Structure formats: structure tokens, C-alpha cells
Amino acid sequence: TQLLEQSPQFLSIQEGENLTVYCNSSSVFSSLQWYRQEPGEGPVLLVTVVTGGEVKKLKRLTFQFGDARKDSSLHITAAQPGDTGLYLCAGSTSGTYKYIFGTGTRLKVLA
Amino acid sequence: NAGVTQTPKFRVLKTGQSMTLLCAQDMNHEYMYWYRQDPGMGLRLIHYSVGEGTTAKGEVPDGYNVSRLKKQNFLLGLESAAPSQTSVYFCASHASGETDTQYFGPGTRLTVL
């Protein structure tokens, strides 16, 4: 069974601080996606990474896919209250068309 | 263009009752998915479909059935609801490739008493 473990589970930080969220697995994924979910809504895709070692930037968010495609990280620089939400990673194995979601990291950024 | 819609938004059932959740997408997507979300467990895949007329089991299919008679609709049925099926249910769809954006509906909050 493929599993994706996210850490930390909860994170409460002050506005302006930096943070990193980790997504780890013992399985290899062909692609990995990061989502953000607001209360009462469905997840919204932030980024997809497909190549081992790939780094993608989305404004203050930096996403990295591990060289072995078993792990990923999300780094937020100078967090803002608008970054508050549940962050989910999801991995897919080529040809399966199924996504395995991580356990989630709930982030709260205090003004 | 409404994206992915789900009906109903909220529902309370008694143990043993049945119900159907409807997911509709207007983006002509091939792939559709049903997930459930429980506290501390992320999203777990119940069933999915890779095209009209096809369905397949996900991680947690027991107690659920699905149908995809039309490309734009994906129905999730609970034949005999149990308290363990209390959850928030999300439908999602995407176009073709696995790296395509997966679009989610707003969710259905189901409580089984």
C-alpha cells in the first residue's frame, strides 16, 4: 500500500516567518501535486512536479521533488495570513490514474 | 462554466438508509473521482472512472457503488449507510494526463446517525 506522510501535521507561525512542509513516501511516484484547501471548499491545485530534483516556484512558494521521486517539500517565504489553510500533497504512479493523498498539514499564519 | 458541482451539500441519514450523491462536470473531462475526507487522514479514494461507462475501485470502496452512465456525471451510492460513512465527500475530475489539473467540487457533508 502506498502511503504519503506529511509533516508537520499542524503549524502555527507569525506573519513574515518562513516554513517548510514535507511529504515523504517509501514509494516512487511519477508525479506529485500540491494542493491548498480552505475550510468548506475542495482542494485547489498549486503545482505539479514530474522530474526528480525538479524545483518550481510560485511567488513565495517553492516546491521541490526529491531526486528519487519519493519525497517532496513545500517552502513558504515570508508567510502571510492569506497562506492559512490545509496543504495536501498527492502522488500518482504512471498508468494507474489514481492519486494517493498525504495526511495534510494545517497551517495558520497569525497577523 | 460551473466546473465541478456536487449535490447535495449536506445530508443527514439514519443507519441503514440509502442515498446517492451526484457529481457533474461541464469541462468534458474523461477522468472522475470520488474521495472521502476524514480528520487527520487527508483524502482517500473511494472509486474512480477513466471514461464513460467505466468504473474502478480505489482504496476504500466497501459500502459504496458508483455509476458513470454519462460522461459528465459520476454518481456515488450508499446502499445501507453506516456511522463509519460519516465524512465529507469530494468529487474531482481531470482531462486526460495524470499530470493534468484535478478540479474538485465543493464537497458534500454527510452525517450518518
Across the A/B interface, how many CB contacts are shorter than 8 Å? 61
Model confidence over B10-65: pLDDT tens digits? 999 999 999 999 999 999 999 999 999 998 778 999 999 999 999 999 999 999 99
Q: How confident is the model at residue B1 (pLDDT cuts 50, 70, 90)?
A: low
Q: CB within 8 A of A38, min separation 6: which ones?
A: A44, A85, A86
Asked if B45's CB is within 8 angstroms of A98's CB, the reply is: yes
The string of pLDDT tens digits covering residues B69-85 is 999 999 999 999 999 99
Cβ pair B50, B68 in contact under 8 A: no
Q: Please tell me the predicted confidence (pLDDT) of residue A67.
A: 95
B43/chain A closest Cα distance in angstroms: 6
Interface check A7 vs B, CB under 8 A? no
B102 touches chain A (CB under 8 A): yes
Q: pLDDT for A7-50, tens place per residue?
A: 999 999 999 999 999 999 999 999 999 999 998 899 999 999 99
Q: How far apart are CA B21 and CA B28, in angstroms?
A: 20
Nearest residue of chain B to residue A6 (CA atoms): B42
One DSSP character per residue, A50-103 reads -STT-EEEETTEEEEE-TTSSEEEEEESS--GGG-EEEEEEEE-TTT--EEE--
- Whether residue B8 has a cis bond before it, omega within 30° of 0: yes
Instruction: Evaluate whether B18 touches B81 at the Cβ level (below 8 Å).
Output: yes
Query: Across the interface, which of A41, A101, A103 has its CB nearest the CB of B106?
Result: A41
Q: Reduced to 3 states, what is the DSSP secondary structure of residue A81?
A: helix
pLDDT computed for residue B53 by the predictor: 94
Please report the pLDDT score of residue B30 as a whole number: 93
Asked whether the predicted pLDDT for residue A94 surpasses 90, the reply is no
Residues near B72 by beta carbon (within 8 Å), at least 6 away in sequence: B24, B25, B26, B28
pLDDT at A35: 96
Are B106 and A45 an interchain contact pair (Cβ–Cβ within 8 Å)?
A: no
